[in-house]
Each structure stands twice: as structure tokens, then as C-alpha cells.
Structure 1
Amino acid sequence: MDDKQMREAFEAKWPMPRYCVWTGRGYAATHHTAWDAHAYRRKWEGWREGYAAGMERGRKEGLDEAATLMQMHAKAVCAQFPDAIRAEIPGDRNG
């Protein structure tokens, strides 16, 4: 995934807040007290770092980009719904 695709995916998931602009290398607040814009920039930096770390882990495991992205997505989905997943496991003692 190139930078443009990564930015499009990020903005599709989290729309850019008011008083925030793309600078060509990242996001910046256009007003000193635009706390949502400052938080958005930090979220973008975390998104990029998480993607890079996931891709590095995939390379170490010998996976190509598509397989790594599928694995990262599956882990993210599982993290959102752990109780629902455990409920489907026969014999799991979660309640």
C-alpha cells in the first residue's frame, strides 16, 4: 500500500476534523486550540507506525503484503469482538 492509498484508507475510517489540513507529509492543525486536529495527527502517526510494524512482522514470517494485510485485519476484528468469538468456541468457559 503506497502513501496515497494509506491516507485514503485512514480518511475513509476517520474523516478529517475541522481546522485540520494535509501538509504533504502529515496532518497539521490550522488553529492553536483545535484539539481534534492535534489528536487526528497523532492518530495518523499511530496508524502509520502500526502498519509499518505489521508489515515488518509479516516479512519476518515470510508473508507477502496481501497475506500480511489479511492477517492484520483478522486480528483487528477479533480484538473488537472477543466475547462473541469465545462464545462460539465449544467448551470455552467464559461465563
Structure 2
Amino acid sequence: MTETTSCCCTKKTVRPEEDRKKLVNRLKRIEGQVRGIIGMLENDAYCNDILVQSAAVNAAVNAFNKELLAAHIKTCVARDIREGKDETIDELVVTLQKLMK
């Protein structure tokens, strides 16, 4: 993974195509789950059934985050530490704090 400047963020990560496809597919499944919950609401589904589906979406997002975080640590963070960019550690700490809210 390499980083370059991007118009919407300060950094950009170029991922192997296989990794990108896996992450995108996970997000598309999550998107489908969310659309399903919307349909449940529109069809007046029982609250508990909606909550169970919402918990499933939450678990899927957490799994996505774990996968992406592991890849980030193994590639971007490790590379930056080897290059002496210690500010990456502070960035990682802030990210972990946000994920653990």
C-alpha cells in the first residue's frame, strides 16, 4: 500500500485489487442489510425483529472495521514506523479511540 495526496483526504491508500473487492463486497452486503431494515420499517415490522437485524448490521460493520484496521496496521502503520513517521502512532491511537466509542 502506498499513500499519495487526494482531493478529499490528506492521504490515499492504493490497495491490491483482491483486497479492495473483498472490502467493497462486505460493504455492499451491509448496504443490502440496511435496505432490508428500511423495508421492514416501511412494512411495519415488529420492533424486536428490526432490532435483531440492526444488531446484525452493527456486527457486520465491526467485522469490516476489524479487517480494514488489521490491514492498515500491517501495511501503512508498519511502513510509516519503519520510515520514522511516529505521528502515525498518534493517528492510530485516535482512530482506535473513535472505533471504541
Determine if the TM-score, normalized by the shorter chain, exceeds 0.5.
no
Q: Report the TM range for the smaller structure's normalisation.
A: 0.3 to 0.5
- TM-score for both structures, normalised by structure 2: 0.36
**Greater RCO structure (CA 8 Å; 6+ sep):** 2
